[in-house]
Amino acid sequence: MAQIKTDLLVIGAGSGGLSVAAGAVQMGADVTLLEGHKMGGDCLNYGCVPSKALLAAGHAAHAMTAGAAMGITPVAPQVDYAAAKDHVAAVIARIAPVDSQERFEGLGVRVIREFGRFTGPRTVQAGEDTITARRIVIATGSSPLVPPIPGLADVPYLTNETLFDLREKPGHLLIIGGGPIGMEMAQAHVRLGCKVTVIEGAKALGKDDPELAAIALAALRDEGVEIVEGALAERISAENGITVQTSKGAFTGSHLLVAVGRKPNIEQLNLDAAGIAHTRAGITVDGRLRTSNRKVYAIGDVAGGLQFTHVAGYHAGLIIREALFGLPARVNTAHIPWATYTDPEIAQVGLTEAQAREQYGDKLEVARFDYHHNDRAIATRQTRGLIKVMVVKGRPVGASIVGHQAGELIATWSLAIANGVKMAGISAMIAPYPTIAELNKRAAGAYFSPKLFDNMTVKRVVRLVQRWLP
């Protein structure tokens, strides 16, 4: 049994924990990193990376069926589902060395492949090692939430942690949950030749702007995804495959994916021994990511806020400032974007239209611009979509986009909100022609158009100036 003293102990080697460990050790801190499962955490192994790789395989299959309007004869793709999963595994393997134990040990991090359990305010037991740290960062992430639906435990079911190991192509995939994970996997699988039914107890993509969600859901339905909303799963049984009994009838398929949300990974931590307050939603933190034990921080999914890889990375940067330099750094979520990678994509930053109307009332102005007015979207026949920007006193307070490359476009609005850039600044931007990026500039133009072109004062001034110009 080893007794280890360290400046900074990081529990969890997902995206947030790895970012903290890498930054801290390169700035001169003695860093110890604990990981009892896979380096890279959920994002690399079960989440962002494999899901986007599988979506890419689905996109390649769909492209073979979608070229008629451009003179390309559609053909039915021959899908090798197992080979598509080999592609997913190869993508993970390509990225894995960046998150590997060898790389971090090469940076100087002490890596211990054990789960951590608090034994006191500053002490953690990891296997046979007892670790005492000046500061501790909990970055244990989250896991799939498995709801207590009667009969679920008696049938084989998938979560995002097991889906990517599946080699047999589902004949009919049932998905419980119409959030981002459920809808992304629904589209990937219908494009790979599966029949897909999504069962959602409330509204599919219910956390997104409803106008934008409707556009994305219509596209998925057009591709053959059956989406049943307001259908609470009441019972599950192994009848002719797998049957999900709901408030709107029974649905039978060959495979079942459960995608109803996430739960924080806190069970093994023994948080009470360290005086760390927590709830079912996660570890309770203040605006500086400190727990009730001021020597311990929590970041990423386990902190109970926005559950995105880039949020964990953002938290990591704040922790470097706090734990290494003793400088206070407060979390600001106003500029944090997120995206759902269906086709068309949905992206959001800041306030939705409904949130902005509730907060600002009559002070709010909404600038809109449709994809079907964008020349690049017309050329590539990707005109389904729109951008909405919520503006107060000339400054954007939120942006909502549905359409091709929405996840790329939203970054401009995150930059604007983070740095207080006004709509005039976006309007002054020059985008290459023709690009999808022009949509952001045109949205800013849509904000100014009525002020310039429908304004009688402006017209009178222009006429007056024209009389005096030589």
Residues 144 and 135 sit within 8 Å (Cβ to Cβ) = no
For residue 183, which of 216, 135, 150, 137 has the smallest C-alpha distance? Answer: 216
414 is in an annotated binding site: no
142 is in an annotated binding site: yes
Helix (H) or strand (E) run with residue 7 in it: strand 3-11
200 is in an annotated binding site: yes
385 is in an annotated binding site: no
Distance (Å, whole) CA 397 – CA 414: 10
301 is in an annotated binding site: yes
350 is in an annotated binding site: no
Would you list the DSSP string of 389-424? EEEETTEEEEEEEEETTHHHHHHHHHHHHHHT--HH
177 is in an annotated binding site: yes
141 is in an annotated binding site: yes
For residue 66, report the phi and psi dihedrals to the nearest 5 degrees.
-120, 20
Residue identified by tokens 């979560």 is 159
Distance (Å, whole) CA 282 – CA 424: 41
Beta strands in 242-361 (DSSP E): 242-246, 249-253, 255-258, 262-264, 278-279, 282-283, 296-298, 337-340, 345-350
459 is in an annotated binding site: no
275 is in an annotated binding site: no
35 is in an annotated binding site: no
Copy the structure tokens of residue 281: 């939603």
Residues 17 and 41 sit within 8 Å (Cβ to Cβ) = yes
179 is in an annotated binding site: yes
295 is in an annotated binding site: no
Helices within 97-179 (DSSP H only): 101-107
For residue 146, which of 246, 263, 227, 62 has the smallest C-alpha distance? Answer: 263
Distance (Å, whole) CA 167 – CA 305: 34
Binding residues for FAD: 52, 116, 140-142, 301
Binding residues: 52, 116, 140-142, 177-184, 200, 261, 301
Binding residues for NAD(+): 177-184, 200, 261
